[in-house]
Amino acid sequence: MQENILVTGGAGLIGAHLVRYLCNCGHRVVVVDDLSNGDAGTLDERCRFIELDVTHTDAPKIMANTKPTLVMHLCAHAYEGLSQFCPV
């Protein structure tokens, strides 16, 4: 069954591999990443990419507009002190 999947942090090392796998399985994939640690050049060309910080006040609305049936939340900072509350 084809799903609309939203992957936050999808341009990171693990996320990019997950996105490629999901695209290979025939899913429609939207990647949200602020590129603070990721690289948009590693993304599968079949996915849609939105450069966005998930802590931005408009992020929930923007991500909801993609109408995901599944969300895979992989975005995080490597250092606990840098992480903020995420309203999503």
9-19: pLDDT as tens digits: 999 999 999 99
Query: What's the rounded Cα separation, in Å, for the pair 81 and 14?
Result: 22
| pLDDT of 7 over the 80 cut | yes
Amino acid letter, 36: S
Residue 49 phi, psi dihedral angles, 5° rounding: -115, 130
Element spanning 61, H or E: helix 59-64
Element spanning 33, H or E: strand 28-33
Model confidence pLDDT, tens digit, residues 23-73:
999 999 999 999 988 899 999 999 999 999 998 899 999 999 999 999 999
Q: Assign 80 to helix, strand or coil.
A: helix
